[in-house]
Amino acid sequence: MEYRFSESTSRFQSSAVRDILKLTQGNAVISFAGGLPAEQFFPLEAVKEAFSRVFDKGNGCLQYGLTEGYTPLREKLCERMSRKGINATPDHMILTTGSQQAIDLLARIYLDPGDVILVERPTYLAALQVFQARGARVVSVDSDADGMLPEDLESKIREHKPKMAYVIPTFSNPTGKVWTLERRKALLRLCQSHGILILEDDPYGELRFGESVPAPTLFSLDEGPDGGVVVYTSTFSKIVAPALRTGWTIADKEIIRQMARMKQAADLHSSTMDQQALCRLMEHFDLESHIALIRREYGQRLQLMLTLLDSHLRDDAHWNRPQGGMFIWLELAHGLNAAELLKEAVREGAAFVPGDSFYAETPPGNTLRMNFTFADDETMRLGIERLSRAVQTCRSDLVRG
């Protein structure tokens, strides 16, 4: 039969980039594209032990669970978040299949087609996909290394009357930047006075390598959870492991209740095996030391990539020097185009994500995102050399063209 897909399906941009990146799977291409943690540092033994403790509790561990998530894990997370200045009870929290699902559920309960959501320029591409699938109108706010520019934010609020704003203020995806305290306060003040709900996406906040401590979360600067303007979400994917697919969201109780109702329709609940195991892990494993280990190792990988970029791409691009997170953000020089470069790079055996996918509108064509956490030192050296050769080929093509 001839299928008649919904309108929102056609709203998904077809992605030439995704097709190229698919070619990189399972072969010899060194990929800096994915936002993948380093597998070496996954706490396999501790996770194994945690699952074993779950099974010790007997058959009940395999039954259906609550839509809001395993209550003892929500309690543990509330304790941990309170040490970070975020105060909430389990009633203010819902567990989701990664924080990706939190973005989707909140968009579904809060945005109608045509509603405006403000985002950073650039921002996380899979959040853009959620808002586009929802039929929302996504408006980018001009942003620099310190966060959204308050003047542009204010003018976009007046022009577009947004209902929501989506931001990653700490070690953002894709740029790795950290908002200053002033910029955070400016966003909060404007959203509070215009009744705009903020989704603060914080998957990378713990991945801090430098000495300087980032400014407090928007959530902790707000007056929530109840009646607050900020919905906060984070995940175990970067600090324990992504396969466990467990994120959490903290917000006003009524927002959590509505997210739970939507989640009940979406999938009843997420894996309680994973949630129970993470609870046992938090009880019996030194998560703080583990995070300290990841910080050291990722910090070294970041330094290595910066050094390699300095020696190989100094004349062809410039980039930032993030203090945490998983990504470096590059701008190509000489009229080089990132999508063209990707094709050449894949031919050489290296991959990255061209930056255009991270823009809601008018992408610049010359930016790209490099992940520095996944590849080990030797692989990273080899990959950057390949990338460098691809850049040289593109440059000579430009000269010839």
Please report, as residue ranges, which positions from 240 to 299 form the binding site for a second copy (by CB under 8 A): 241-245, 252, 254-255, 258, 261-262, 264-274, 276-277
Please report, as residue ranges, which positions from 311 to 340 form the binding site for a second copy (by CB under 8 A): none
To a second copy, the closest distance from the beta carbon of 318 in angstroms equals 30
Shorter beta-carbon distance to a second copy: residue 158 or 400 = 158
Q: Is 58 in the site for a second copy (CB under 8 A)?
A: yes
To a second copy, the closest distance from the beta carbon of 185 in angstroms equals 17
Shorter beta-carbon distance to a second copy: residue 153 or 231 = 231
To a second copy, the closest distance from the beta carbon of 356 in angstroms equals 18
CA distance 327 to 25: 20
Q: Is 228 in the site for a second copy (CB under 8 A)?
A: yes
Kindly tell me which residue out of 123, 129, 233, 371 binds a second copy, with binding defined by CB under 8 A. 129
Q: Give residues with Cβ within 8 angstroms of 6, minimum separation 6.
A: none
Shorter beta-carbon distance to a second copy: residue 126 or 292 = 126
To a second copy, the closest distance from the beta carbon of 11 in angstroms equals 11
Shorter beta-carbon distance to a second copy: residue 214 or 224 = 224
Please report, as residue ranges, which positions from 158 to 187 form the binding site for a second copy (by CB under 8 A): 163
Angle ∠(41,99,277) on CA atoms, nearest 5: 55
Q: Is 126 in the site for a second copy (CB under 8 A)?
A: yes
Kindly tell me which residue out of 19, 195, 362, 399 binds a second copy, with binding defined by CB under 8 A. 195
Kindly tell me which residue out of 109, 260, 306, 333 binds a second copy, with binding defined by CB under 8 A. 109
Beta pairing partners, 246 = 97
Nearest of 348, 365, 363, 355 to residue 312 by alpha carbon: 348
Please report, as residue ranges, which positions from 2 to 41 form the binding site for a second copy (by CB under 8 A): 2-9, 12, 34, 36-37, 39-40
- CB-CB contact of 261 with 57 (8 Å): no
To a second copy, the closest distance from the beta carbon of 131 in angstroms equals 9
To a second copy, the closest distance from the beta carbon of 181 in angstroms equals 22
To a second copy, the closest distance from the beta carbon of 208 in angstroms equals 22
Residue with tokens 């087609």: 113
CA distance 206 to 204: 6
Please report, as residue ranges, which positions from 68 to 87 form the binding site for a second copy (by CB under 8 A): none
To a second copy, the closest distance from the beta carbon of 348 in angstroms equals 24
Q: Is 65 in the site for a second copy (CB under 8 A)?
A: yes
Residue with tokens 């520019």: 149
Give the interface size with a second copy as a residue count (CB under 8 A).
78
Residue type, 7: E
To a second copy, the closest distance from the beta carbon of 37 in angstroms equals 8
Q: Is 236 in the site for a second copy (CB under 8 A)?
A: no
Kindly tell me which residue out of 33, 81, 94, 111 binds a second copy, with binding defined by CB under 8 A. 111
CA distance 73 to 212: 30
CA distance 389 to 397: 12
Please report, as residue ranges, which positions from 373 to 392 form the binding site for a second copy (by CB under 8 A): none
